[in-house]
A and B are shown apart, each in its own frame.
Chain A
Amino acid sequence: MNAAAAGPADAASDPGPGRDTTRPLPTVRAARAVFDLSLDAMVWSRRSLMMALLLALPVVLAIVYRAVLGRLPPRVAAFDFYGNIVTYYYLRFALPVTALFYATALVADEVDGKTLTYLITRPVRRSAILIGKFAAYVATTFALALPAIVVSFFLLATAGGWSGIGARVGDLFRDLGVMALALVAYGALFTLVGVLLRRPVIPGLLFVFVWELLANLPGYMPRLTLTAWLQSLIRHRPPQEGVTAIFGQVLPAALSLQVLTAATLLFLAASLWIFSRREYVIEE
């Protein structure tokens, strides 16, 4: 019995104009389609509302700071308060949690929701699916986080008036760049964790709240964390850091950029490789 070769479709199935049915869709085109499919679900959801509140909380803090400024003498200046928010709130807490929240769910949500079957039975490379979903993650988190940082900056940097704001705007752009890099780097890491593990949340939390504390230690240990490299890129040094004031390291900025970029690419490449080869047995 002869096996039928995968040649041009017979008259019963029309391939449609300009469509090559002998190859999968080009990666960029496929990723774009997955991006569009995923972005809607990511942005317009209750969980994004929760994350938006979490990321916008510093705006409330900034308003509170300005509101009580005349009545209570603060221990830190307004711009230093902004620095505390960037370092303690965003870099060490909110952005890693946001990345954990979204990036571990890129594949896990489709598996749990049993919709992965629809995606992997399309003529697209699996890597294109993950690239499209990661792009949607980046777009969503940037849209949620960066505007909140900008608003916090302007609320606090202008607490004493608008003079001198020009000198500070450079810090804002730097902070935005670092926050964006943090979202991408943590996102790539947690995408890998989400692809590797069936239950990625607890290992992710342990990484963020236990492993990343190594950034506070002396010696070579901080280099094994993302926090240390990211912190080295921002200029804010919160005045009272306790043990961090003794042990905290500032690594070279250029090296930090290179390491973070390399780590991001490595995590993403590993994720793509694993996702392309893994079988997903959807329980019925």
Chain B
Amino acid sequence: MTATLEYVRASRWYGPVIALNDVSTTVGPGVTGLLGPNGAGKSTFLKLAAGLLAPSQGEVRLLGRPAWGTPALYHHVGLCPETDAFWEGMTGLQLVTALLRLTGFDEAECGRRAEQALDSVALLEAKDRKVGGYSKGMRQRIKMAQALAHDPQVLLLDEPLSGMDPVNRRRVVDLVKRLGREGRTVLVSSHILYEVEAMTRRVLLIHNGRILAEGDVREIRDLMDEHPHTVSVRARDPRALARAVVGAPHLLSLTFGADGEWLTLQTAKPDEFYGHLHEAALEAGVLEMYSPDEDLASVFRYLVPR
């Protein structure tokens, strides 16, 4: 994977407070979720990537050049900031057009691109209304529009779904996934896990200014030996299933559900266990099976101490 964004032992502090602590990582094309609790360092990580801050130590490189102090990079970068702030007296179209002019497009091209960007976030009908009169969801979408309008190669989105209704959330999630498939580098910062999960399986987990884990959610989960995997199975004859699997290696525990249909198993090696379970499944009449702790929320919960 070619790295678009590169952190090399990057640290950033504000006075005595270390916001980002000796971080080394790369982010390449596709969608990557940047996760962490409040105060973890996500905003600082994103601001360093966006060139809004200089690292106190180390390097942050975007498209091979230092992110800080290289204005030419912004031809290729679109930032959707978290703050809800605009020039309220401007219309949606005026705002996006004005910012496009600052990106070097001529007047005709500015108008065309602005309308295209507004259309992609379903704001075309409201383009001539003042931003001051927009709802929260519309304000969030206009932020997305100004980030996308100049067709950047890199998109940095800070809480992009905040304040959006379910319909527009879906729209933006689909848009982000499409941008990732096109080969753009999209870094999405959020603390709403199911939203990030809807967009990507590739995550970067931050806590206390350090990277806790990075990569595919499932791969991270598989590496977490100290947290056994839970598998819930519904079968016609759960006791027969239990008899068949109780001798399986790496089975740690087994619990019957109160309703008499469900069986909850815990194992240290899920892949091996699934193979063993497969053999017993037909005999016991397995109807349904899922793993409640292989999602992002579980990974997050296990990794981030309370």
Contact = CB atoms under 8 A, between A and B. Distances in A.
B87 to A, nearest CB: 6
Nearest to A25: B104
B167 to A, nearest CB: 26
A123 B69 CA distance: 11
B252 interface: no
B72 A280 contact: no
Contact of B6 (A3, A6, A124): A3
Given A15-B75, A121-B51, A4 B106 contact: no
A13 to B, nearest CB: 4
Interface in A1-34: 1-6, 9-10, 12-25, 29-30, 33-34
A197 interface: no
Interface string B190-206: 00000000000000000
Given A12-B183, A17-B109, A122 B85 contact: no
Contact of B98 (A37, A45, A117, A282): A37
A1 B3 contact: yes
Interface in A34-55: 34, 36-37, 40-41, 44-45
Contacts of B73: 6, 123
Given A14-B151, A40-B89, A123-B75, A4 B103 contact: no
Contacts of A1: 1-3, 6, 26
B76 interface: yes
Interface in B76-121: 76-77, 79, 81-83, 85-87, 89-90, 98-99, 101-106, 109, 113
A125 B82 CA distance: 23
Interface stretch (B59-67, B209-217, B262-270): B59-67
A36 B98 contact: yes
Contacts of B153: 9-10, 12-13
Contacts of A4: 2-4, 63-64
A252 interface: no
B76 A117 contact: no
A244 interface: no
B284 interface: no
A243 interface: no
Contacts of A10: 153, 183
B52 interface: yes
A22 B83 CA distance: 29
Interface string B139-151: 0000000100011
Contact of A36 (B14, B54, B101, B184): B101
B72 A6 contact: yes
A170 interface: no
A121 B63 contact: no
B72 A117 contact: no
Interface of A: 1-6, 9-10, 12-25, 29-30, 33-34, 36-37, 40-41, 44-45, 113-115, 117-126, 279-282, 284
Give the 5 A-B residue pairs with the shortest CB-CB distance, closest first.
A114-B85, A21-B75, A122-B102, A123-B74, A24-B71
5 contacts: A6-B65, A6-B73, A12-B151, A24-B71, A41-B89
Interface of B: 1-4, 6, 14, 26, 43, 47, 50-54, 61, 63-65, 71-77, 79, 81-83, 85-87, 89-90, 98-99, 101-106, 109, 113, 146, 150-153, 182-184
